[in-house]
Amino acid sequence: MGAYVNPEEESKEAFLNREGTLVGTDNNLKIKYKDIHAEDLLVVLLDNMLFTAAGICFNENEFNAFTDDSTDDRPKKYYVVNKEELYKVSDLENYLKPSS
């Protein structure tokens, strides 16, 4: 299912506009996975027509899945967001915990 941005006090869009840096839209992503600093992650805002979802690309597989426009033609906006801010509005820690 993945990790998603779900702020309680504001919309996903407001959070991303405040805390993120827009790095692309639709088929125009301006960065690669390796270009993202260790303290940041890519978040993809997907327009599902009835609602939006903001998926967090917490590893390279998630990055590839969320940015593969050959299989997903939904409108998208791409943001780079600091991990510490994402921890506050998601269950990201469940995905970044070391395996036991």
The end-to-end CA distance of the chain, in Å, is 21
Tell me whether residue 9 is in a domain: yes
**Do the domain assignments include residue 56?**
yes
User: Does residue 95 lie in a domain region?
Assistant: no
Q: pLDDT digit string (tens) for 80-95? A: 999 999 999 999 999 9
79 burial type by CB count under 10 A (0-12 exposed, 13-18 middle, 19+ buried): buried
- Please check whether residue 98 lies inside any domain of the structure: no
Q: Give residue-wise pLDDT tens across range 41-52.
A: 999 999 999 999
More confident site: 43 or 68 = 43
pTM for the complete prediction?
0.93
In a domain, 100, yes or no: no
Find the domain containing 14 and state its range: 3-90
Contacts of 66 (CB under 8 A, 6+ apart): 42, 44, 46, 55, 57, 72
Q: What is the pLDDT of residues 5-44, one digit of tens each?
A: 999 999 999 999 999 999 999 878 989 999 999 999 999 9
* pLDDT for the residue numbered 30: 87
The number of distinct structural domains making up the chain is 1
